[in-house]
Amino acid sequence: MKFYVLTLFPEMIEQGLGASILGRAQERGAIAVRTVNIRDFSENKHGHVDDYPYGGGAGMVMQPGPVYRACEAVEAEIGHKARVLYMTPQGRVFDQKLAGELAQEEELIFLCGHYEGIDERVLEQKVTDSVSLGDYVLTGGELPAMVMIDCISRLIPGVLSNEQSAEVESFYDNLLEYPQYTRPEEFMGLRVPEVLLSGHHANIEKWRREQSIRRTLERRPDLLTGARLSEKEEEFLQKLREIT
């Protein structure tokens, strides 16, 4: 997968995605991240890429020209159509399902806006998907783009090790993760649940599933409608619902 990021702050993207698992994935060639500085496509002698909003109002708006030319440059390099994702609070809310869909693409182009947004006309011309991370406003689209690239990358073969890959499954069940424990066996008087020390793998598996169900009911009951539970697990959930 090749990610292109159109931004006024390429260092932010390079720094953010250059460390840890995604940094190593780039070194291995499992993913590639190419930043494109929108400012390089300014035709203004000062390198300006923003101006006052027509009709008045607070803040500045990114001009269409530099964004259009930056996008054309990337499209020319790719040589075929690619999805252009615009990070905006007004977009479709990003989730694991959309991540899975986007992970099937060969290239993705991320457009990061700043100021009060980008001139609507270039968005009409170039954006295929407006995407939001949630109902809050940030200073720019860079952090949302990095979140999405992280989430999509871990679905791409060769990014996670085999050991890490097992965890990819968890969210697909629509259940939250069970609690984890490591040494010491007792911390501030709190013991690790006895079943985890038993070595009885079937019991451990059952306990973990039940913890996941309990936790999802308590914290994210909305997820449970999409969870695939066995008959026994449905009974367990019914019991929990009777108590609370």
Interacting residues toward ligand 4G0 by CB under 6 A: 87-89, 113, 116-117, 132-134, 136-138, 140-141, 144
Q: Nearer Cβ to ligand 4G0, position 132 or 170?
A: 132
Q: How far is the CB of 61 from ligand 4G0 (least distance, A)?
A: 10
Q: Nearer Cβ to ligand 4G0, position 134 or 157?
A: 134
Got the DSSP string for the chain? -EEEEEES-HHHHHHHHHSHHHHHHHHHTS-EEEEEEGGGG--STT---EEPPTT--SS-EE-HHHHHHHHHHHHHHH-S--EEEEEEEEEEEP-HHHHHHHTT-SEEEEE---TT-B-HHHHHHH-SEEEESSS---S-SHHHHHHHHHHHHTTSTTTS-HHHHGGGGGGGGT-PPPP---S-SEETTEEPPGGGGS--HHHHHHHHHHHHHHHHHHH-GGGGGG----HHHHHHHHHHHHH-
Q: How far is the CB of 52 from ligand 4G0 (least distance, A)?
A: 16
Q: How far is the CB of 161 from ligand 4G0 (least distance, A)?
A: 30
Q: How far is the CB of 6 from ligand 4G0 (least distance, A)?
A: 12
Rg of the chain in Å (alpha carbons):
23
Q: Nearer Cβ to ligand 4G0, position 10 or 212?
A: 10
Q: Nearer Cβ to ligand 4G0, position 26 or 35?
A: 35
Q: Nearer Cβ to ligand 4G0, position 90 or 244?
A: 90
Q: Which residues contact 116 (CB under 8 A, 6 or more apart)?
A: 53, 57, 58, 59, 60, 61
Q: Nearer Cβ to ligand 4G0, position 60 or 168?
A: 60
Q: How far is the CB of 57 from ligand 4G0 (least distance, A)?
A: 12
Q: How far is the CB of 3 from ligand 4G0 (least distance, A)?
A: 17
